[in-house]
Structure 1
Amino acid sequence: MTHGNVNLCDAGIIIAAIMFGKRDGFIVGALSGFLLDLISGYAQYMFFSLLIHGLEGLIVGWLGYQHRRKTQVLAIIIGIFIMVLGYFITDAILYKPVAGLAGIPANAIQGIIGSIVGYPIALKLKQILKV
């Protein structure tokens, strides 16, 4: 509907941010979003994704790193909200505001699935690696 794609980028961002904090969350978010768009044929989104997913990782890491699970879950929800809002704005800029609205469900589903996959993996890896 908005030329984007659904992927597990958010799972990796959440893992990095929860395990290592805001700096690494930002780096993983920015680079993975940028490179995924570049190699999957969505170059018009590359720089937007760099900012959106970078900010997502920064916020999740800033609010969720070394905090209680309730705070981590809240951090992830805020991060996903930022991602959905960021792509709404992006689609409104690249296409029309109606395209931004049309992309909200797919982006929200991507974020929710990414968090369902990424958060338990982050918790288990933290336990195993003791980070």
Structure 2
Amino acid sequence: MNNERKTHRIVLFSLFASLTVVSTLLFRLPIPYAQGYLNMGDGVVLLAALIMGPMAGFWVGSIGSALADLIAGYAIYIPFTFLIKGAEGFLAGWLYFKTKNIWLSVLLSGVWMATGYILAEWFLFGLPAAIAAFPMNLLQGIVGAGVAIILFRILGPIFRNKFHL
């Protein structure tokens, strides 16, 4: 990989991580009876994974989402978010590049995210709180998947043709 291509990838990683922070913090709705909030950050994480692959999905999900938790005052979630959202992005990118099935890739990744958070919240707050938060986390995963599919249909060809990723 030449230096110009490496620079493009680093810039895109940074762009997507920044967009993850912004879309997480700007478009958020508190989740009733839970500690978190519904946001659009997952859509950006999944989009990055679909466009640039599993490692981009991992780093965009990990760094962008963890920074959003830090800025929003949810520091207790940072280590969990780093791993859960990173794995969500990695899984989406890996599944898409293996199967070319966008629906399978983003929906399974969204289900993984909700499952990861039920485990994290069980550890942090107990099983009843984790169960109460699960439906909204699952909804967040599904909404993020839908956002990613729409954005990928629009932006995917632009990135592939212009940056040859």
TM range (shorter): over 0.9
1:112 corresponds to which residue?
Answer: 142
- AA aligned to 1:35 is L
Unaligned stretches of 5+ residues in structure 1:
none
Aligned residues: 129
Percent identity among equivalent residues?
33
> Residues 110 and 144 of structure 2 are in contact (CA less than 8 Å); yes or no, is this contact kept in structure 1?
no
CA contact (8 A) 1:26 1:56 kept: yes
Instruction: Confirm or deny: 8 A CA contact 1:25 1:61 kept in the other structure.
Output: yes
RMSD of aligned Cα (Å): 1.3
Report whether the alignment pairs 1:2 with 2:26. Answer: no
- Which of the two has higher C-alpha Rg? 2
1:1-131 matches, within 5 Å, as 1-65=33-97, 67-68=99-100, 71-129=101-159, 130=161, 131=165
TM-score of the two chains, using structure 1 as the length reference: 0.92
TM-score by length of 2: 0.74
| Runs of 4+ displaced beyond 4 Å | none
- Superposition deviation, residue 99 in structure 1: 0.8
Native 8 Å contact 1:14 1:122 kept in 2: no
Contact 2:34 2:129 in 1 (8 A): yes
